[in-house]
Chains A and B, each alone.
Chain A
């Protein structure tokens, strides 16, 4: 399974755009990139998933360069409620394959 590296923490202010970059140098051909958000004492919540190029949903955008060795989660105009831990995970999308969590990025949003 590809190992991921993310910044341990990031700080931002309300209304700003936040970009969290994740490195996954040994990503495999069949691997997808998935981002989860976790609040204290809650289970992780799916944010976005992609394989290559750019993916956008109502919550975030995911940018993946051609070599797929990194990815960037972009959160537009963050609010205080976006303060959470964000995990970047890489792995095959097969029914029997578990996602392995790294340390994640703790995002703190201030007013």
Chain B
């Protein structure tokens, strides 16, 4: 299957700082990328949908000014957690879909964020 990478795999930061997470589709062009968040013992929660060259669509309850998403190319999307606080500590997972309508979503390995 297609490969999606994320960087970094884990990050520790101080409260109030910003953190950027990259999501790349390595062997296919992703028309759409998605960002999820997962808290311990819980399922994945969709945060936003990102289409290349356009603004992201955020799910209800997700602050767009806090979680900045940029999808500048067909292989790269970034999620920036601005002014991070301890409650933002979570496992962030991106996924991507390719051109063909029948292609399913491929997920990255996830990024563990710990805000102190």
* Chain A contacts to B: CB under 8 angstroms: 32, 34, 36, 41-46, 49, 87, 93-96, 98-104
Contact = CB atoms under 8 A, between A and B. Distances in A.
Interface of B: 1, 4, 6, 31-32, 34, 36, 43-46, 49, 51, 91, 93, 95, 97-99, 101-110, 112
Contact of B109 (A43, A49, A100): A43
Given A95-B99, A96-B32, A96-B49, A46 B93 contact: no
Nearest to B31: A95
Overall SS of chain B's interface = strand
Contacts of A49: 104
Nearest to A85: B43
Nearest to B46: A98
A46 B106 contact: yes
Given A34-B104, A41-B110, A46-B1, A96 B31 contact: yes
9 closest cross-chain pairs (CB), A and B? A43-B107, A101-B44, A101-B43, A95-B31, A44-B107, A43-B110, A98-B34, A43-B93, A43-B109
B89 to A, nearest CB: 14
Contacts, number: 62
B109 A87 contact: no
B101 A94 contact: yes
A20 to B, nearest CB: 15
Contacts of A36: 107
B97 A100 contact: no
B108 A100 contact: no
B105 to A, nearest CB: 5
Contacts of A102: 43
A99 to B, nearest CB: 5
